[in-house]
Structure 1
Amino acid sequence: MRGCGHIAIVCAALLASAPALAQQRGSDVGGQPTKRQLTKMPRLVKFVETEYPAAMKAAGVSASVVLTIEIGATGKVTNVAVAESAGADFDAAALAAASGFEFEPAEVDDKPAPAKITYRYDFVIEAAEPPPPPPELSSLEGEVRAASNGAPIAGAKVNVSGGPGGVVSIARSATTDDAGRFSLSNLPAGSYEVVVEAPDGTTTRFSETVTPGKKTRLRYDVVPRPPPPRQPAPDDVEEVSVRGTPRARREVVDYAVRAEQAKKVAGTQGDVLKVVQNLPGISRPPVASGQIVVWGSAPKDTRVYVDGVDLPALYHGSGLRGTINSDLVASIDLVPGAFGAEYGRGLGGLVRVETRALPRGTHGYVGADTLDGSAFASTEITDKIRIGSAFRYSWLDRVLAATSAPDVGDFFPIPRYRDAQLKATFDLRKRESVDTVFLVSSDQLDRTVPSPDPAKRRVEATRSGFWRAYARYTSVADNGDTTIVTPFVGHDTSSLVQRFGATPTRLDVESERYGIRASLRSKIGSHVSLVTGMDALGTASSVSREGSLTLPPREGDIAVFGQPPGDEYAVDRWKTHILDVGPHAYADVRIGPVTLTPGVRFDAFVMEGSKKLPPAGNVPPIGFSRMETAIAPRASARWDVTGRFALTTAYGNYHQPPEPEDLSAVFGTPDLGLSRSTHVTAGESLRITDSLTFDVVAFDKRMKDLVVRSRLTNPLRARSLTQNGEGRSYGVQFLLRQEMWKGFFGWASYAISKSERRFEGDESWRPFDFDQPHVFSLVLSQEIGRWGVGARFRYASGNPRTPVVGSAYDARSDRFDPVFGAHNTTRIPSFWQLDLRVDRTFELGRGVRALVFADLQNVTNRENAEEIAYSPDFRRRGIITGLPFIAVIGGRLEL
Structure 2
Amino acid sequence: MTATIIILGLVASQTCHIVGQVLDVVEMRPVAGAHVLAADAGTTTDESGRFELTLPETPSARLTISHIGYEAKALTATPGPLPRPVLLRPRPIALPEVEVRPGPARPTGTHELSGPAIRRIPGAEKDILRAVQSLPGVSSTGDFFGWLYVRGGTPGENLFLLDGVEMPDPYHYAGLASVFNTALVEEVRLSTGGFGPDRGDRTASVLEVTTRPPRPGRRGRCGVDLTEVEAAAEFGTAGGDGFIAALRHCYLDLLLGRLDLGDGYILPTYTDFQLTARARPAPGLALNAGLLSTRESARAGDSSHWRAPGITLASRGTSGGLKLAWQPSGAARLSFQLSGIDRRQDFEVRDSLGENIRRHWPRNIRAGVLGHLIAAPGWLVEAGGSLASVAYRHESTLPLELLDPMRWGDTCVADIGFRQGDAWARVSRDVLPRLQVSAGARLDARSLDPGAVASPRLQARWQAGASTSLRTAWGIYRQFAAPEHRNADSLALAQPGAARARHLIFGLEQDLPAGITARLDLYDKRLDRLVVVRDGAFTADGTGSARGLELGLTRRQGVITWQGSYAWSRARRSWLHGLEPVPTDGEQPHILNLSGAGRLPGKIDASARLRWSSGAPYTPEVHYYENHCIPGEYNSARYPAYFRLDLRLARRFAIGGHGLDLWLSVLNATNARNVQSWYHDADGTRRAIWMLPRLPMLGLAWEF
Q: What TM-score comes out, normalization by structure 2 length?
A: 0.82
CA contact (8 A) 2:532 2:538 kept: yes
1:496 aligns with 2:496: no
2:670 aligned to 860, 883, 889, which one? 860
Question: Aligned partners of 1:605 and 1:661: how far apart in 2?
Answer: 15
What is aligned with 1:427?
280
Q: Which amino acid aligns with 1:445?
A: A
Question: Aligned partners of 1:570 and 1:777: how far apart in 2?
Answer: 46
CA contact (8 A) 1:409 1:448 kept: no
CA contact (8 A) 1:314 1:323 kept: yes
Give how far 1:350 is off. 0.9
Identity %: 23
1:751 aligned to 559, 567, 589, which one? 567
Deviations for 1:784-829, whole angstroms, at most 9, x for unmatched residues?
46310111111122221222222333xxxxxx33333333211122
Question: Aligned partners of 1:282 and 1:372: how far apart in 2?
Answer: 26
2:268 aligned to 391, 415, 423, which one? 415
Question: Aligned partners of 1:595 and 1:180: how far apart in 2?
Answer: 36
Deviations for 1:692-740, whole angstroms, at most 9, x for unmatched residues?
0111111111111111222x3xx4xxxx222221111111111111113
Aligned runs of 1:185-200 on 2, under 5 Å? 185=94, 192=96, 194=98
What is aligned with 1:838?
649
Deviations for 1:214-233, whole angstroms, at most 9, x for unmatched residues?
xxxxxxx9xxxxxxxxxxxx
- Structure 2 vs 1, CA of residues 174 and 594 (structure 1 numbering), >3 Å: closer, same or farther? farther
Question: Aligned partners of 2:31 and 2:214: how far apart in 1?
Answer: 23
CA contact (8 A) 1:753 1:773 kept: yes
What is aligned with 1:581?
421
Aligned runs of 1:169-188 on 2, under 5 Å? 175-176=68-69, 183-185=92-94
Question: Aligned partners of 2:91 and 2:682: how far apart in 1?
Answer: 71
**Higher mean C-alpha displacement, 853-862 vs 816-825:** 816-825
Q: Which amino acid aligns with 2:295?
A: S
Q: Which amino acid aligns with 2:590?
A: H
1:882 aligned to 677, 691, 698, which one? 691
1:770 aligns with 2:575: no
- Structure 2 vs 1, CA of residues 481 and 771 (structure 1 numbering), >3 Å: closer, same or farther? same
Give how far 1:319 is off. 4.5
Aligned runs of 1:487-636 on 2, under 5 Å? 487-498=338-349, 502=353, 506-552=357-403, 570-590=410-430, 591-607=432-448, 626-636=449-459
Where does structure 2 lack aligned partners over 5 or more consecutive residues? 1-29, 36-65, 71-86
Deviations for 1:758-778, whole angstroms, at most 9, x for unmatched residues?
168747321112221112211
Give how far 1:546 is off. 2.6
Question: Aligned partners of 1:878 and 1:456: how far apart in 2?
Answer: 16
Give how far 1:490 is off. 1.9
CA contact (8 A) 2:591 2:614 kept: yes
Question: Aligned partners of 2:31 and 2:189: how far apart in 1?
Answer: 19
Question: Aligned partners of 1:382 and 1:361: how far apart in 2?
Answer: 8
2:499 aligned to 632, 654, 675, which one? 675
- Structure 2 vs 1, CA of residues 734 and 392 (structure 1 numbering), >3 Å: closer, same or farther? same
Question: Aligned partners of 1:697 and 1:660: how far apart in 2?
Answer: 35
1:312 aligned to 168, 181, 190, which one? 168
1:458 aligns with 2:309: yes
CA contact (8 A) 2:379 2:427 kept: yes
CA contact (8 A) 2:324 2:337 kept: yes
CA contact (8 A) 1:596 1:637 kept: yes
- Structure 2 vs 1, CA of residues 886 and 761 (structure 1 numbering), >3 Å: closer, same or farther? closer
2:157 aligned to 301, 311, 324, which one? 301
Give how far 1:462 is off. 2.9
What is aligned with 2:661?
851
Give how far 1:378 is off. 0.9
1:892 aligns with 2:701: yes
CA contact (8 A) 2:472 2:505 kept: yes
Deviations for 1:324-358, whole angstroms, at most 9, x for unmatched residues?
22121111111111211001111221111111112
Give how far 1:871 is off. 2.5
1:478 aligned to 300, 304, 329, which one? 329
Question: Aligned partners of 1:435 and 1:757: how far apart in 2?
Answer: 42
Question: Aligned partners of 2:263 and 2:124: how far apart in 1?
Answer: 25
1:703 aligns with 2:527: yes
Question: Aligned partners of 1:181 and 1:497: how far apart in 2?
Answer: 66
| Structure 1 runs of 4+ with >6 Å offset | 177-182, 381-384
1:870 aligned to 661, 670, 680, which one? 680
1:739 aligns with 2:556: yes
- Structure 2 vs 1, CA of residues 507 and 701 (structure 1 numbering), >3 Å: closer, same or farther? farther
Identify which of structures 1 and 2 has the higher relative contact order when contacts are C-alpha pairs closer than 8 Å and 6+ apart: 2
Give how far 1:287 is off. 3.2
Give how far 1:282 is off. 0.9
Deviations for 1:20-79, whole angstroms, at most 9, x for unmatched residues?
xxxxxxxxxxxxxxxxxxxxxxxxxxxxxxxxxxxxxxxxxxxxxxxxxxxxxxxxxxxx
- Structure 2 vs 1, CA of residues 603 and 890 (structure 1 numbering), >3 Å: closer, same or farther? same
Question: Aligned partners of 1:384 and 1:755: how far apart in 2?
Answer: 46
Give how far 1:430 is off. 2.6
What is aligned with 2:76?
none
2:259 aligned to 404, 412, 420, which one? 404
Question: Aligned partners of 1:501 and 1:687: how far apart in 2?
Answer: 64
Question: Aligned partners of 1:155 and 1:524: how far apart in 2?
Answer: 36
Give how far 1:280 is off. 0.8
Give how far 1:248 is off. 5.3
Q: Which amino acid aligns with 1:891?
A: L
- Structure 2 vs 1, CA of residues 456 and 821 (structure 1 numbering), >3 Å: closer, same or farther? closer
Question: Aligned partners of 1:747 and 1:183: how far apart in 2?
Answer: 31
Aligned residues: 627
Root-mean-square deviation (Å): 3.1
What is aligned with 1:235?
none
Q: What TM-score comes out, normalization by structure 1 length?
A: 0.65
What is aligned with 2:631?
820
Give how far 1:302 is off. 0.7
- Structure 2 vs 1, CA of residues 882 and 500 (structure 1 numbering), >3 Å: closer, same or farther? farther
What is aligned with 2:604?
787
Give how far 1:193 is off. 5.1
Give how far 1:155 is off. 4.7
CA contact (8 A) 2:114 2:188 kept: no
What is aligned with 1:355?
211
What is aligned with 1:143?
none
Aligned partner of residue 740 in structure 1, secondary structure:
coil
- Structure 2 vs 1, CA of residues 842 and 802 (structure 1 numbering), >3 Å: closer, same or farther? same
Q: Which amino acid aligns with 1:606?
A: S
CA contact (8 A) 2:533 2:576 kept: no
CA contact (8 A) 1:596 1:636 kept: yes
CA contact (8 A) 1:284 1:796 kept: no
What is aligned with 1:135?
none
CA contact (8 A) 1:804 1:819 kept: yes
1:646 aligns with 2:494: no
Larger Rg: 1
Q: Which amino acid aligns with 1:688?
A: L
What is aligned with 1:147?
none
Question: Aligned partners of 1:486 and 1:354: how far apart in 2?
Answer: 15
Where does structure 1 lack aligned partners over 5 or more consecutive residues? 1-151, 158-172, 195-204, 208-220, 222-246, 558-565, 608-625, 810-815
Aligned partner of residue 547 in structure 1, secondary structure:
coil
Deviations for 1:459-479, whole angstroms, at most 9, x for unmatched residues?
333333321121111223332
1:726 aligns with 2:543: yes
1:806 aligned to 595, 608, 623, which one? 623
Question: Aligned partners of 1:596 and 1:602: how far apart in 2?
Answer: 20
Question: Aligned partners of 1:319 and 1:659: how far apart in 2?
Answer: 19
Deviations for 1:567-623, whole angstroms, at most 9, x for unmatched residues?
x9622111112322111011221121111111100112112xxxxxxxxxxxxxxxx
